[in-house]
């Protein structure tokens, strides 16, 4: 029951593409993640997925366009929409999505992370 | 389907204690709010409520203690817990909670805001 400081939590890990849970709101989780480069194309058929950029900027690619999300911005990927996340330089972001969501959705592969690691 | 910039959205209103919805993640809403002074004691019997401070700092008072939440910090008030929000100086925050939650919970009163105003 203490406030959760994003910078402090982000200082506790360095690996990329491995979201860490920091809090829950009912069944929804807040996760911090660091990444650079390209993720994999995937989708989440049962849920929306929100990204808030805390440091740097990221791209979210769709099959027909790409958006850039910067520090202090929020973007919600609606459920069922195929997308890929990317960052030229290391980006720190918060992901907000229901408990149990796997980062690679139905795509699987080597970037699939344990989806319930708390820090 | 554009990124939502917090500073830009916050520039669109000035009134206090009147949360504005900026996005939805499934049935959960992201709301921006500005406030100063004391809110009212209340609780939400059916849901947790998350606060992220974007500018300034806020206090969340409980019957047995008080926490200060600063810029870049998150705090989740668990459901059923009586609390009051306060800020000495104007604070800008994001509230994350399910669609339909009334800001004053069961307490009502003049600070009760329309709970589904989008900006």
First-residue to last-residue Cα distance in chain B: 14
Task: Give the residue from chain B lying closest to A45, CA to CA.
Answer: B26
Q: Give yes or no for residue B1 having a pLDDT over 90.
A: no
Distance CA A28, CA A103 (A): 14
The answer to which of A37-41, A106-110, B4-8, B40-44 has the lowest mean pLDDT is A106-110
* The two three-digit tokens of residue A49, written as one number: 């997925």
For residue B34, the domain's CATH number is 2.60.120.10
CA distance B34 to B83: 18
pTM above 0.80, yes or no: yes
Nearest to B76 among A25, A70, A76 (CB): A25
**Whether pLDDT at B7 is above 90:** yes
- Flag whether A76 is in a domain: yes
Let me know if residue B111 belongs to a domain: no
Q: Which domain holds residue A78?
A: 19-98
Residue B8, H or E segment: helix B6-10
The answer to whether the CB of B48 falls within 8 A of the CB of A26 is: yes
Contact across the interface for A74 and B30, Cβ inside 8 Å: yes
Q: Give domain status of residue A3, yes or no.
A: no
State the pLDDT confidence band at B90, using cuts at 50, 70 and 90. very high
What is the pLDDT at residue A70?
A: 98
Give the model confidence (pLDDT) of B28-66 as tens digits. 999 999 999 999 999 999 999 999 999 999 999 999 999
Could you tell me if B68 lies within 8 Å of chain A, comparing CB atoms?
A: yes
Domain count, chain B: 1
A46-72 pLDDT, tens per residue? 999 999 999 999 999 999 999 999 999
Radius of gyration of chain B (CA): 13
Interface of A with B in 90-119 (CB under 8 A): 96-98
How crowded is residue A46: how many other Cβ atoms within 10 Å of its Cβ? 12
Structure tokens at B101: 């939650």
Helix (H, G, I), strand (E, B) or coil at A87: strand
Domain-embedded: residue A8: no
Q: Is A22 strand, coil or helix?
A: strand
């Amino acid at each position: 029951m203490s406030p959760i400081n994003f910078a402090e939590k982000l200082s506790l890990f360095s690996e990329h593409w491995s979201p860490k849970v920091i809090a829950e709101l009912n069944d929804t989780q807040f996760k911090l993640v660091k990444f650079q480069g390209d993720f994999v194309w995937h989708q989440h058929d049962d849920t929306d997925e929100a990204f808030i950029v805390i440091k740097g900027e990221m791209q979210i690619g769709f099959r027909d366009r790409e958006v850039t999300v910067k520090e202090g911005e929020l973007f919600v990927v609606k459920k069922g929409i195929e997308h890929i996340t990317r960052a030229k330089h290391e980006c720190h972001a918060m992901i907000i999505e229901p408990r149990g969501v796997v980062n690679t959705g139905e795509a699987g592969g080597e970037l699939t992370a344990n989806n319930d690691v708390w820090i």
